[in-house]
């Protein structure tokens, strides 16, 4: 029991540290990602990917579930 509590606590601490690092990195990268061309290309690329995946899904042949 104490071993599982220690492992759970270590997991929570590591998760909190990595999440904090991701949040700090995202806030530091925000000005560069909101620049005109980067923002425009990101939106167009994201939309194109979603449209392409929708078309692929609509045209894909269904597989029989057995």
| Closest listed residue to residue 24, CA positions, set 14, 13, 36, 16 | 16
Which pLDDT value is given to residue 31?
86
Q: What are residue 19's phi and psi, to 5 degrees?
A: -65, -40
- Residue-range domain boundaries for the chain: 2-59
Q: Is the pLDDT of residue 45 over 90?
A: yes
Q: pLDDT grade, residue 50 (50/70/90)?
A: very high
- 30 vs 61: CA distance, rounded Å: 41
Torsion angle, alpha carbons of 49, 50, 51, 52, to 10: 50
Q: What percentage of the chain reaches a pLDDT higher than 70? A: 95
End-to-end CA gap in the chain:
42
Q: Is the pLDDT of residue 66 over 70?
A: no
* pLDDT tens-place string over residues 11-38: 999 999 999 999 999 999 888 878 888 8
């Amino acid at each position: 029991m104490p071993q599982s509590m220690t492992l759970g606590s270590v997991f929570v601490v590591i998760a909190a540290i990595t999440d904090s690092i991701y949040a700090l990195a995202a806030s530091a990268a925000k000005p560069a990602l909101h620049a005109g061309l980067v923002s425009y290309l990101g939106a167009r690329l994201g939309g194109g990917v979603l449209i392409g995946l929708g078309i692929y899904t609509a045209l894909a042949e269904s597989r029989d579930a057995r």
